[in-house]
Amino acid sequence: MSDSAITDQEFALFQRLIYKIAGISLSDVKKVLLVGRLQKRLRHYQFSTFSQYYRMLASGNNPDELQMMVDLLTTNETYFFREPKHFDFLRDEILLKWRSPTTFRIWSAASSTGEEPYTLAMMLAEYLPNSPWEVVGSDISTQVLEKARRGHYPMNRVEGIPPKFLSKYCLKGVRSHADTLLVSPDLRKKVSFEHVNLTLPVDKSMGRFEVIFLRNVMIYFDMDTKRKVVNNLLPHLIPGGHFIIGHSETLNGLDVPLTAVRPTIYRKA
């Protein structure tokens, strides 16, 4: 079966569907990406048009396939110690000043394949050696969460990790796992991963956090979705807690109870 082309009308249907499910605004320039990523699903079902695949998704009878579509359209790039100024701030202004006996909790709300939560875990292990702590990672894609839980990465992913952290918190693969790295089991057991759709209210069982990282995901959202997502997360941030977004993002115009401390770093009133 040859690959199917997508019409403008069909693309518009998928734009509305991914917006409705995940709040993602898929611009017209993403048409090629959508076709490339979903083509294999059409082949899998032997569909000749995107309309057939859309009808199956929209019927509501195939939640697993709907999740598969979300996974395919939301996979995103990430790496260890990305945007290092945020981790410098975390160390200097938060962790080194932490004096409470309570468990220090951080939420990586768009954790992708896990590099950010494990970076946070290395920071906490290093700078809160005598305090209890916990990292929670969440994502809308079940596929990336599976990778994150394994904590197993190709060696070319580790460039940003300081050598001291690399030797202390990571294991180098040998034999059939040469050229790979495994986050140490001690660190992995203090990081949990949850399947969360940020556009929906977050379950109370998630608990509350001292810091929430929501980086490099709001670039996919329009203003209304940004406001909804931030308001879904804020009940889980303690008063005085920090909310950190990506360097290419802003909360300007959202009217949320956060005060800018530095560019892209906010504090809850």
**2 within domain boundaries:** no
pLDDT confidence tier of residue 185, bands split at 50, 70 and 90: very high
What number of CA atoms fall less than 13 Å from residue 198's CA on the CB side?
31
Is residue 79 one of the residues assigned to a domain? no
| pLDDT tens sequence across 149-177 | 999 999 888 888 999 999 999 998 888 77
Task: Count Cβ atoms within 10 A of the Cβ of residue 6 and give its class: 0-12 exposed, 13-18 middle, 19 or more buried.
Answer: buried
Domain end (from 22, 43, 74): 74
H-helix or E-strand spanning residue 84: helix 84-89
Q: Which of 37, 41, 208, 267 is catalytic?
A: 37
263 and 141 in a common domain:
yes
- What confidence score (pLDDT) does residue 238 get? 97
Q: Structure tokens of 193?
A: 């991963």
The arithmetic mean of pLDDT across residues 198-225, rounded, is: 92
Same domain, 68 and 100: no
| Set 105, 139, 188, 215: catalytic member | 139
Structurally, how many domains does the chain consist of? 2
Same domain, 98 and 12: no
Q: What are the tokens at 129? A: 């050696």
Res 75: pLDDT: 64
Residue that is last in its domain, among 48, 74, 100: 74
Annotation marks residue 222 as catalytic: no
What is the helix, strand, coil percentage profile of the chain, to 5? Answer: 45, 20, 35
Domain termination site, one of 49, 74, 99: 74
Residue 240: the pLDDT is: 96
Within this chain, do residues 141 and 65 fall inside the same structural domain, yes or no? Answer: no
Percent of the chain with pLDDT strictly greater than 90: 67
Residue 60 in any domain: the answer is: yes
Do residues 174 and 88 share a domain?
yes
One domain for residues 68 and 89: no
Lowest mean pLDDT among 185-199, 219-233, 235-249: 219-233
pTM of the full structure: 0.86
- 8-state DSSP, 200: S
CATH number of the CATH domain containing 28: 1.10.155.10
Does residue 167 lie in a domain region? yes
* Cα angle 172, 177, 178; round to 5: 65
* Same domain flag for 13 and 145: no
Any catalytic annotation for residue 157? no
Domain check: are 142 and 230 in the same one? yes
Same structural domain, 63 and 190: no
Of 11 and 71, more confident:
11
Structural domain includes residue 3? no
- Domain with 58, as residue range(s), is 8-74
> And the tokens for 244?
């950190």
Whether 123 and 232 map to the same domain: the answer is yes
* pLDDT score of 109: 96
The answer on 201 and 156 residing in a single domain is yes
pLDDT at 89: 97
Is 102 part of any domain?
yes
Tell me, what CATH number does 113's domain have? Answer: 3.40.50.150
pLDDT higher at 190 or 37: 190
- Which backbone phi and psi does 215 adopt, to 5 degrees? -110, 135
Looking at the structure, tell me whether residues 232 and 129 fall in a common domain. yes
For residue 154, is it within any domain? yes
76 touches 216 (CB < 8 A): yes
Tens digit of pLDDT for each residue in 107-144?
Answer: 999 999 999 999 999 999 999 999 999 999 999 888 89
In a domain, 12, yes or no: yes
Q: What is the pLDDT of residues 71-82, one digit of tens each?
A: 888 766 788 999
pLDDT in tens, 37-66: 899 999 999 999 999 999 999 988 888 898
